[in-house]
Amino acid sequence: MTERGVTTFIPLFLTVLYPLGLTEASYLFALIFLLGIVSQPLAGYVSDKVNRKKLSILFFIASSCVIIILALKPSVYFLIPVLAGMGFTLFSLLPLTDTIATDLIPESIRGEGLGFYSTVGVAIGALSPTVTGHIIESMGFQPAYLILALVLLVTIPLLFTVSLKGLPVKNGVP
């Protein structure tokens, strides 16, 4: 939800809150995805070497921090590192959470489980720009981005709880 909600509105955010034209905003927007190209395989690789649950929590917190900094409207000179950090941290979460989901789903229903997981992710991702847009229209960019950063922080205990307990199993069936 957070990745789609934040990234969908970055070009508008940059042109409304900063003295940037559409061209400059588009270059900065592209920076987010360029860092995502680097961070996804790197995060996947690192998650195979270290405790992926702890690594995921680290990236959830880092992503939240970067979005909070962005919401607080840093100086235009800090936009490049903030947006680069956002691209790196947000897109690192994708392989991390996908791997955790794969680890949690029993092999006997892995295809079905991952299909459900993917469907829910796409549905939430599709709704996020609409919800975020309503928040932006009613409260502004800064509160909207702070709310999206909090969504990530709320996800941490959920991820940690699921990761510790696994899927509930009754009579051998998850």
- Give the mean pLDDT of the chain: 89
Per-residue pLDDT for 133 more than 90? yes
**Fold assignment, 2-163:** Growth Hormone; Chain: A; (1.20.1250)
Question: 76 versus 166: which is more confidently predicted?
Answer: 76
- Distance of alpha carbon 90 from alpha carbon 107, whole angstroms: 28
Mean pLDDT of 85-107: 91
CA distances to 80, 93, 137 from 89, rounded to whole Å, are 14, 7, 27
pLDDT-derived band at 71 (thresholds 50, 70, 90) equals: very high
Indicate the domain borders of the chain. 2-163
Q: What is the pLDDT of residues 31-65, one digit of tens each?
A: 999 999 999 999 999 999 998 889 999 999 999 99
Surface-to-core class of residue 170, CB atoms within 10 Å of its CB (0-12 exposed, 13-18 middle, 19+ buried): exposed
Per-residue DSSP letters for 10-37?
A: HHHHHHHHSS--HHHHHHHHHHHHHHHH
Identify the residue whose tokens are 């989901």. 101
pLDDT at 53: 86
Per-residue pLDDT for 169 more than 60? no
pLDDT at 74: 87
How many residues can be counted in the chain? 174
Q: Please work out, in degrees rounded to the nearest 5, the angle formed at the alpha carbon of residue 102 by the alpha carbons of 96 and 107.
A: 165
Q: Which of 1, 2, 149, 152 is nearest to 71 (CA)?
A: 149
